[in-house]
Chain A
Amino acid sequence: MTDLVEHALATEEAADPFRLAGREFTSRLLLGTGGVPSLDVLARAVAASGTQIVTVALRRVDPGARGSLLDVVESAGVRLLPNTAGCMTAREAVLTAQLAREAFETDWVKLEVIGDEDTLLPDPFELLDAAEQLVLDGFQVLAYTSDDPVVCRRLADAGCAAVMPLGSPIGSGLGIRNPHNIALIREQVEVPVILDAGIGTASDAALAMELGCDAVLLASAVTRARDPERMALAMRHAVEGGRLAQRAGRIPRRFHAEASTPMQGLPEL
């Protein structure tokens, strides 16, 4: 990038920080680490993405595991966001969040409560129950939810620090199936809206930002891409581009053409 472009982007970022749970970030891209083929690939993808927040999960210790995910993440200087992936009930999710708080010394949690093993769609009833319990327990709850504006409003009312509606099912790469709902959610809650799940490629991430989302969380789109590092860079630019476009204000859609070249002064030939 030229100095001029870098300066312009830095100016935009400084003027438009991403505020989440009392913290400020310059990057609006959160990176999930699931599906990453190796720790080396992860390190390069994290660097290319420019992310400042990455998700991790808790699982039983594996005596045969080599290398440390946390070493990679810590050397990148990013914030850890533990998730409750795999939990199917509020009870499991609350306990997992409490264990994650012990392990990672953070009260931030990406709350996932899954209601169906085939679609991995969230269970909104267990989710809201878990969110209420965790907010009372002092957690900053980032709730992964279906793209339902009413559910999102209930989660925000319960005190969640952010709502994270899905674009489409986890890992499906189907993009944003109901853009109108995402725009409605952005309109109806005051907390940050982070589009989470379903992103397949850069244009999906840009669309999320153009719809008014405050940030995008994605994992598989990068970790399972043929070239994760290059896709991470693509996502970084997509999120920045989408955000800039949203702030700049798109032109209205028209049924017919609207000439950009003036008719006045047109020669008669």
Chain B
Amino acid sequence: MRLTVNGEPAELPEGTTVADLVAARAEDHRRVAVAVGSAVVPRSRWAGTVLTQDDVVEVLVAVAGG
């Protein structure tokens, strides 16, 4: 299925969960936040949230700022 991850097109297998995506994208799982379609996905729901075709996903981490 095709979706958008951090502004880039991505091809992911059917059934991919938010937890799978975070594991693939972020080296350190602590201190990561995920939004799907401009809604926060709490950490407790990562494993149970299955991504679907055309989802727009943001995987965010801490950077220097402010």
Q: Which of A58, A95, A102 contacts B63 (CB 8 A)?
A: A58
Q: Which of B38, B42, B62, B65 contacts A34 (CB 8 A)?
A: B65
Nearest residue, chain A, Cβ from B42: A102
Nearest residue, chain B, Cβ from A33: B64
Q: Flag if A219 contacts B61 (CB, 8 Å).
A: no
Within 8 Å CB of A36, what residues of B? Answer: 64
* A-B Cβ contacts below 8 A, count: 89
Query: Which of A60-68, A181-189, A230-238 has 4 or more CB atoms under 8 Å from chain B?
Result: A60-68
Q: Which B residues, 1 to 44, have Cβ-Cβ distances below 8 Å to chain A?
A: 6-7, 25-26, 28, 30-35, 38, 40, 42-43
Within 8 Å CB of A21, what residues of B? Answer: none
B41 CB, min distance to chain A CBs, angstroms = 8
A223 CB, min distance to chain B CBs, angstroms = 8
What total of chain A residues lie within 8 Å of the partner, measured CB to CB?
Answer: 33
A133 at the interface (CB under 8 A from B): no
Q: Flag if A61 contacts B26 (CB, 8 Å).
A: yes
Residue of B34, B35, B40, B65 with most partner-chain A CB within 10 A: B65
Top-3 shortest CB links A-B: A57-B65, A55-B66, A103-B33
Q: How far is the CA of A57 from the CA of B62 in the complex (A)?
A: 6
What total of chain B residues lie within 8 Å of the partner, measured CB to CB?
Answer: 24
Q: Flag if B7 contacts A102 (CB, 8 Å).
A: no
Residue-by-residue, is B35-60 near A (CB-CB < 8 Å gives 1, otherwise 0)? 10010101100000000000000111
B3 CB, min distance to chain A CBs, angstroms = 15
Contact residues of B with A, CB < 8 Å? 6-7, 25-26, 28, 30-35, 38, 40, 42-43, 58-66
A99-B33 contact in complex given A60-B58, A61-B60, C-beta closer than 8 Å: yes
Within 8 Å CB of A110, what residues of B? Answer: 66
Q: Which of B7, B43, B58, B66 contacts A83 (CB 8 A)?
A: B66
Q: Which A residues, 81 to 133, have Cβ-Cβ distances below 8 Å to chain B?
A: 81-83, 85, 95, 98-100, 102-104, 110, 112
Within 8 Å CB of A68, what residues of B? Answer: 28
